[in-house]
């Protein structure tokens, strides 16, 4: 699976975007994004520049290990760093109720919001996950209150069962960002949607 992705998707283009692997030159964009209170509203804290460097190093290590890790989203016309969107194998500090799994996720700079950037990038990666990697299912997770991301998940045809809501690993149960939702999309449902 990793070789397929590395060979075919180190850099791809959609109508408006370049989707590519992480590079050292992304550090300034990561620092701005992870230090923005609007972007990090549903995370427990903003990242310092050092934490953003560690984040970039983790992304690059995960890419080497799995062949992918939430690929970079770049503006095709300007080359501007817009954030990330794509597939990932979770490596959180505790187990998720859906593991083993492949998740789709995104984090984008505020200037991209409301323009369909997340949906455009995610649709490419869903198709790649189901058609090229032959995955049976792709999941997405976020905090209950993150209605913007939840709307994107719904636009992608993902479904949510409240019975599968869960407390995120190693977050205090009384913390307002502890409770998470799980969205799922099966290969069968994806193929049914795309054949309409």
CATH number for the domain including 131?
3.40.630.30
CA 41 centroid distance within chain = 16
Q: What is the value of pTM for the model shown? A: 0.91
Give the rounded percent of residues in the chain with a pLDDT score beyond 70.
95
Report the mean per-residue pLDDT for the chain.
92
Vertex 95: Cα angle to 31 and 120 (nearest 5): 50
pLDDT in tens, 89-127: 988 777 888 999 999 999 999 999 999 999 999 999 999
Q: Which domain does 186 fall in, by range?
A: 2-195
Angle between helices 187-195 and 117-127 (to 10 degrees): 110
Domain count, the chain: 1
């Amino acid at each position: 699976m990793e070789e397929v992705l590395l060979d075919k998707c180190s850099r791809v283009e959609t109508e408006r975007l370049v989707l590519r692997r992480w590079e050292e030159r992304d550090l300034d964009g990561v620092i701005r994004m992870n230090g923005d209170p609007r972007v990090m509203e549903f995370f427990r804290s903003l990242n310092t520049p050092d934490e953003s460097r560690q984040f970039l190093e983790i992304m690059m290590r995960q890419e080497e290990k799995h062949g992918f890790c939430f690929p970079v989203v770049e503006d095709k016309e300007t080359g501007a760093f817009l954030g990330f969107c794509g597939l990932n194998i979770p490596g959180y500090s505790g187990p998720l109720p859906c593991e083993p799994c492949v998740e789709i996720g995104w984090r984008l700079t505020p200037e991209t919001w409301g323009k369909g950037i997340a949906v455009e990038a995610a649709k490419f990666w869903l198709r790649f996950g189901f058609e090229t990697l032959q995955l049976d299912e792709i999941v997405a997770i976020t905090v209950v209150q993150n209605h913007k991301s939840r709307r994107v998940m719904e636009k992608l045809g993902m479904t949510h069962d409240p019975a599968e809501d869960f407390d995120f690993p190693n977050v205090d149960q009384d913390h307002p960002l502890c409770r998470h939702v799980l969205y799922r999309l099966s290969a069968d449902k994806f193929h049914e949607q795309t054949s309409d």
